[in-house]
């Protein structure tokens, strides 16, 4: 298949690129190396892909519809894995318009190009942030969507566009609601990345609020596997992609400290706005619809991650 991966130099996107190349697909990576975090980290992510014969990199912006259309047309793209986004809750609170432009309008550009140029399928990276205010746990896909950040709202919009393009135009789309993904190349703004760095240096770990809020964490290989499976399954559907288990943020910090064998102290500071109190995925729909199951639990995933970080 000829696959376009938007955001292919990012954390999840670059792992997906590697996996698609391994499976002998042709891969075009579209990324604008947004400075949200250091772009040199993103160049490092795609270092091995760059030398692959079936890989090409286009430095461009999904907000530019003409550019997206040209890339799809010139490369005869068959499948689009749409991962480019302004990720991150806090930055969306600082600049909601940028988040909307990239995540909502950018997704619309992708869908418009796909529909007009005969792309076979679009797989859209959504997020557990669409749920926001918890009514019950675990979140199944029918749980009300009341996001608590502009980021969550932009992801709701993108999901709806994907569903509507399927229902009205017959463009095959699948949205995957990833629950906090972690592993090698994790975004530097995510808690697991920050806590591990601190623990490896025996520095204090800062937790916003009381640390009793909980998260469902998904290991990168499990997230990528679900994304690959969506190429041929789940048309018009939305799936939760999580581990189906949760841990408190205090518990997470304690686990990381224990795995590193270091002696960081945990300190609590004021809670931040825009964060959901709890996330936990009901993954029954993805098990049935995609034939997918997570393989790596948080303890094993953290050990793998800390081993990689420790070597650097």
Ligand X SMILES: NC(=O)c1ccc[n+]([C@@H]2O[C@H](COP(=O)([O-])OP(=O)(O)OC[C@H]3O[C@@H](n4cnc5c(N)ncnc54)[C@H](O)[C@@H]3O)[C@@H](O)[C@H]2O)c1
The catalytic residues are 151
Q: Tokens standing for 251? A: 């518990």
Return the residue nearest ligand X (CB atom): 10
Q: Which stretch binds ligand X (CB under 6 A): 20-28, 61-69, 202-210, 301-309?
A: 61-69
Whether the CB-CB separation of 101 and 63 falls below 8 Å is answered with: yes
Specify the long-range contacts of residues 197-204, CB closer than 8 Å, at least 24 apart. Answer: 197/309, 198/264, 199/253, 199/256, 199/257, 199/259, 199/260, 199/262, 199/264, 200/260, 200/262, 200/306, 200/309, 200/310, 201/262, 202/262, 202/263, 202/264, 203/264, 204/264, 204/265, 204/266, 204/267
Among the listed residues 57, 62, 252, 290, the single contact to ligand X using CB under 6 A = 62
CB of 151 to ligand X, least distance (A): 7
Q: Which is nearer to ligand X, 88 or 289 (CB)?
A: 88
What is the C-alpha to C-alpha distance for residues 131 and 112, in angstroms, rounded to an integer?
26
Among the listed residues 42, 121, 246, 255, the single contact to ligand X using CB under 6 A = 42
Pick the closest to residue 190 from 107, 275, 260, 273 (CA basis): 275
Q: Which is nearer to ligand X, 88 or 211 (CB)?
A: 88
Pick the closest to residue 8 from 112, 79, 99 (CA basis): 79
Among the listed residues 3, 4, 10, 28, the single contact to ligand X using CB under 6 A = 10
Q: For ligand X, what does the binding mask look like between residues 72 and 91, x meaning CB under 6 A?
A: -----------xxxxx----
The answer to whether residue 33 forms part of the interface with ligand X (CB under 6 A) is yes
Q: Which is nearer to ligand X, 7 or 289 (CB)?
A: 7
Q: Which is nearer to ligand X, 108 or 267 (CB)?
A: 108
At 57, which helix (H) or strand (E)? strand 55-59
CB of 261 to ligand X, least distance (A): 26
Count of residues that interact with ligand X, criterion CB under 6 A? 29
The answer to whether residue 61 forms part of the interface with ligand X (CB under 6 A) is yes
What is the C-alpha to C-alpha distance for residues 308 and 12, in angstroms, rounded to an integer?
16
For the CA atoms of 7, 13, 19, 22, what is the dihedral angle to 10 degrees? 30
Whether the CB-CB separation of 156 and 148 falls below 8 Å is answered with: no
Q: Which is nearer to ligand X, 166 or 219 (CB)?
A: 219
CB of 23 to ligand X, least distance (A): 20
Pick the closest to residue 84 from 26, 125, 127 (CA basis): 125
Q: Which is nearer to ligand X, 165 or 179 (CB)?
A: 179
What is the C-alpha to C-alpha distance for residues 87 and 91, in angstroms, rounded to an integer?
8
Q: Rule CB under 6 A: which of 218-247 touch ligand X? A: none
Measure CA 194 to chain center. 17
Q: Rule CB under 6 A: which of 121-180 touch ligand X? A: 125, 127, 178, 180
Binding site for ligand X (CB under 6 A): 6-7, 9-13, 30-34, 42, 61-63, 83-87, 102, 106, 125, 127, 178, 180-181, 187
């Amino acid at each position: 298949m000829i696959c376009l991966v938007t955001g292919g130099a990012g954390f999840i996107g670059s792992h997906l690129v590697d996996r698609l190349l391994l499976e002998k697909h042709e891969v075009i990576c579209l990324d604008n190396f947004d400075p949200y975090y250091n772009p040199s980290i993103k160049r490092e992510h795609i270092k091995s892909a760059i030398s692959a014969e079936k890989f090409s990199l286009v430095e461009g912006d999904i907000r530019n519809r003409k550019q997206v259309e040209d890339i799809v047309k010139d490369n005869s793209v068959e499948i689009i894995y749409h991962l480019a986004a302004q990720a991150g809750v806090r930055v969306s609170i600082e600049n909601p318009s940028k988040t909307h432009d990239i995540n909502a309008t950018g997704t619309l550009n992708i869908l418009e190009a796909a529909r007009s140029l005969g792309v076979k399928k679009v797989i859209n990276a959504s997020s557990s942030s669409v749920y926001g205010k918890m009514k019950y746990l675990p979140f199944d896909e029918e749980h009300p969507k009341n996001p608590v950040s502009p980021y969550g709202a932009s992801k709701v919009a993108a999901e709806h566009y994907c569903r509507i393009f399927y229902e009205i135009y017959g463009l095959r789309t699948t949205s995957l609601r990833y629950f906090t993904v972690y592993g090698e190349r994790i975004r530097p703004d995510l808690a697991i990345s920050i806590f591990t760095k601190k623990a490896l240096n025996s520095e204090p770990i800062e937790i916003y609020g009381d640390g009793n809020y909980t998260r469902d964490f998904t290991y990168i290989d499990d997230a990528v596997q679900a994304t690959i499976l969506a190429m041929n399954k789940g048309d018009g559907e939305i799936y939760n992609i999580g581990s189906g288990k949760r841990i408190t943020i205090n518990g997470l910090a304690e686990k990381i400290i224990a795995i590193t064998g270091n002696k960081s102290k945990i300190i609590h500071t004021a809670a931040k706005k825009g964060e959901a109190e709890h996330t936990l995925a009901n993954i029954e729909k993805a098990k049935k619809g995609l034939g997918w199951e997570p393989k790596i639990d948080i303890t094993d995933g953290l050990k793998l991650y800390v081993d990689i970080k420790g070597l650097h």
